[in-house]
Chains A and B, each alone.
Chain A
Amino acid sequence: MTSDPLQSPLQVDISSEGRAHLVRLSGSASIEESEELRITLNQLVSDSAPNLVLDLSGLTYITSVGIGALVAAHHRTKKLSGRIVMVNPSPAIQRLLTLIHIDRLIDVFPTTDAALAALQPHT
Chain B
Amino acid sequence: MIRKPQIELRPSPHIHAPVDVVSIMRNVVFALLPVFGWHVWMFGLAAVATLAAVLAGSLGVERLVCRLRGENSTLGDYSALITAILLAMTIPPSMPLWMSFVAGAVAIGLGKAFFGGLGYNVFNPALVGRAFVQAAFPAAVNTWPPAFFEGRFSGLIPSNLTPPLMHPPSIADWSMKVVDAYSGATPLAMQKFQHQQTPVWDLFFGGVTSYATGAPAALIIVCGLYLAARRMLDWRIPLSVMAGAAGLAAILWLHDPAHYPDPLFVLASGGLMLGAWFMATDMVGSPVTSLGAVVYGLLIGVVTVVIRAFGGMAEGVMYAILLGNAATPLIEHFTQPRPFGAGRRRGKGGGA
Query: Do A and B bind?
Result: no
- Chain A residues engaging chain B, CB cutoff 8 angstroms: none
